[in-house]
Amino acid sequence: MEERLNTSLVRSKLDLIDRRINSLRYKLEVATKSNARQQKLSILQRDTAQLVNELSSVLRDNKQLGVLIGTEEVAYKERRLGFIDGKITERLKDIFPTRDLVAHTDCDFKRFQTKLRLYLKDVWGNKRPPFITEGKGAQQLISYTAAESSLSLLGNNKIYLDEAFSNASEVTQSKIQLILGKSISDGFQIILISHSPLIYQDLPRREFHFESDSQGFVKHISQVDYLEISDV
């Protein structure tokens, strides 16, 4: 007797196998996508680690550069102060040759203390504040020299002086001509207001004379040129 094929059972088994295949296909797709994401994440993680290493190297280099820049900035400022101190020392020797004073500017740039204090050192190394020991004439000479030196470093050649050496003695004022004459020889243009002719009378110059009326108003301005250069 022939056995009949149970088609319903066969279909049921085929459906079950189909569902399993679909399920495995879905899991395979999910696994494939997950593996792709994992690979992308691995690549991203590797690239991120490389970027972090590069950034760390840049930060280290930047820190070293900052230290070098800071060191050079301090050295630059100290060189500039040394230049000004040297100029002041030269001028003091020109005007006060017997005192043997050396200018020294005290400022701690490394600690960002930018307040300057200028001292004069005597032959024994003692610090002498010029505003106490040297008189106002020396103070004015120091101020002028510091200003002129700073202008020279900045490439500026014009100086405006308003009674700059009014507190100096007559002997000192007559010596100031040497200083102003050297400044002129160095290419500086000096605009000077002064009631004392002692500091400029032997220098080539152009004078402007102001004549006032009884109420103090300027009523006339005259110009006189003294172009002959005397030996000063």
pLDDT, residue 18, reads 83
Residue 146 CB contacts under 8 Å (≥ 6 apart), including other chains:
84, 87, 88, 118
pLDDT at 64: 92
The full length of the chain comes to 232
Domain layout of the chain by residue ranges: 51-136
The residue with tokens 């490389």 is 50
pLDDT of residue 191: 92
Q: Which residues contact 89 (CB under 8 A, 6 or more apart)?
A: 101, 102, 103
Residue 194 CB contacts under 8 Å (≥ 6 apart), including other chains: 161, 163, 164, 165, 166, 200
Q: Give per-residue pLDDT as tens, 138-162.
A: 888 888 999 999 999 998 999 999 8
Q: What residues in the chain have per-residue pLDDT under 70?
A: 1-6, 111-113, 131-134, 228-232
